A = this chain, B = another copy of it.
Amino acid sequence: MRIAIDAMGGDFAPKETVLGAIDACQEFDADIILVGMEKDIKKELTGRSLSSLKLEVFPTSEMISMDEHPAAAVKRKTDSSLVVANRLVHEGKAAAVISAGNTGAAMAAGLLNLGRIKGIKRPAIAVPMPTKKGVCVLLDAGANADCEPENLLQFAIMGSIYAEKVLGLVKPRIGLFNVGQEETKGNRLAVEAHQLLKMSKLNFIGNIEGNDVHQGDCEVIVCDGFVGNTILKVSEGLAEVLFAEIKGAIASNYLSSLGGLLIKNSIRKLKRRLDPVEYGGAPLLGLNGISMISHGNSNAKAIKNAIKAAIKTINEDIISIISTSINTQYAV
């Protein structure tokens, strides 16, 4: 059960991707294929004791950068680390692919090489989001800017399965992101999706509004990719501004600064708890192969956690469960 890592993807690659892979091998006996520029990867492996680790390097000659047009890059750069890693999964040489690189390209490479699970109209990026009470899976986080109501129903089915089987959340509650409580509220997409979800066999608890996204009152939230990306990026940006402002406010006078020193550890613990890194990366649900993306700024710990989640996803046979659910049990 080998995991193919796009060693060149991410702001701190290949150093952190390689370190994360090594940690995964050491901590839970992972079997890793590091896909990327041989010279760069081997530089990170030099001087480390690797004999007992299941770590292989698969050399490639190209790379896709963060700002390249996803579909074009994936079609053109057939020997890029990302595309090759996806191909290895398609060929059965790896059971999952992980990348911290260009998210759009990861989805495009997945669609091109792995295809979609039969019956799935559009795969989605599912992001585990820290909440007041734990974690909540949000999808679609950005793959599909425009959606149809049926897409949201399928997102709900897939998100529910992932939340239950991989994140271990019992009987996940599904919320539809919306701008009001009543089923008549929202844009056309939300109004129609609400009805589909209501009629399904899912544990659908109704609309979730913006104020409540971080409360942890459900385990899965569905929305279109534009709105999902908005929720995540606005949250990220605001948290950054608030922590910086608080730091600034604390530093504004002597007594405050003294206070700041005393609370430093508690705040650090809090930031760690709220860090999405703990939940292991975002699966691209609906692809006919396990593909996970990690935040562009992933460090070794984030990569390691993504590998852990990928292994769980493989073990739980998520793709078969989704395929069965889409085609039988949850059919509307």
Contact = CB atoms under 8 A, between A and B. Distances in A.
Contacts of A263: 249-250, 256, 259-260, 263
Copies in the complex: 2
A132 B241 contact: yes
Contact of A246 (B210, B212, B246, B259): B246
A329 interface: no
Contacts of A214: 234, 237-238, 241
Q: How large is the interface on A (under 10, 10 to 19, 20 to 34, 35 or more residues)?
A: 35 or more
Contacts of A215: 237, 241
Interface in A218-243: 224-227, 229-242
Interface in A124-153: 132, 142, 145-146
Interface stretch (A11-19, A29-37, A156-164, A184-192): A184-192
Contacts of A188: 145-146
A266 interface: yes
Interface stretch (A80-88, A111-119, A267-275): A267-275
Given A238-B235, A245-B270, A227 B226 contact: yes
Interface in A179-227: 179, 185-188, 190, 209-215, 224-227
Given A210-B234, A226-B179, A237-B213, A262 B258 contact: yes
Nearest to A229: B179
A266 B241 contact: no
A170 interface: no
Contacts of A233: 179, 209-211
Nearest to A187: B145
A142 B259 contact: no
Which 8 pairs show the lowest CB-CB distances between chains A and B? A210-B233, A259-B262, A211-B237, A145-B187, A259-B263, A259-B259, A249-B266, A210-B234
16 contacts: A132-B245, A179-B233, A209-B233, A210-B230, A210-B234, A210-B235, A211-B233, A211-B237, A213-B238, A214-B237, A215-B237, A215-B241, A226-B227, A245-B270, A246-B246, A249-B269
Interface of A: 132, 142, 145-146, 177, 179, 185-188, 190, 209-215, 224-227, 229-242, 244-246, 249-250, 252-253, 255-256, 258-263, 265-267, 269-270, 274
